[in-house]
Amino acid sequence: MARWQGMEGVAIATLTTFTIYNFIRLVFIRKRFNMWPFTDKTIYAIVLAAVTYGLVYILLRNLHGITGILLRSFLFSVLFIGGAWVLHLTPDLREVYQLMRTKLGLRNTEKP
């Protein structure tokens, strides 16, 4: 039998604990309130995040340091937010966009 030691053991124990706790909480919400917090758009968002991560990793894997961190973060954000916008993954994104335009004093050029 393997014995977990060091940081890896702590990380695996924490992951296991959070997974079990959240699964029990999910089952409780489903049984008690007859609610399910996930839709098919949740799966699309996870796939979009994985594809975006892979693409950014492949494109910028040779950049290191602060430049690499900034460029990877910027590219991931642009691709993920753009993908969420195009796929209409959340209605809140358009509301945030309109709020930002209002706060910046930009004219609303979109028709309702």
Measuring CA to CA, which residue among 20, 80, 7, 77 is closest to residue 49? 80
- Tally of domains within the chain: 1
Structure confidence by residue, pLDDT tens digits, 6-56: 888 888 889 999 999 999 999 999 999 998 888 889 899 999 999 999 999
59 located within any domain: no
Q: For residue 26, give its domain range.
A: 7-37
29 located within any domain: yes
Q: How far is CA 101 from CA 22, 83, 85, 105, 109, in A?
A: 37, 20, 16, 6, 10
The pTM of the whole model exceeds 0.75: no
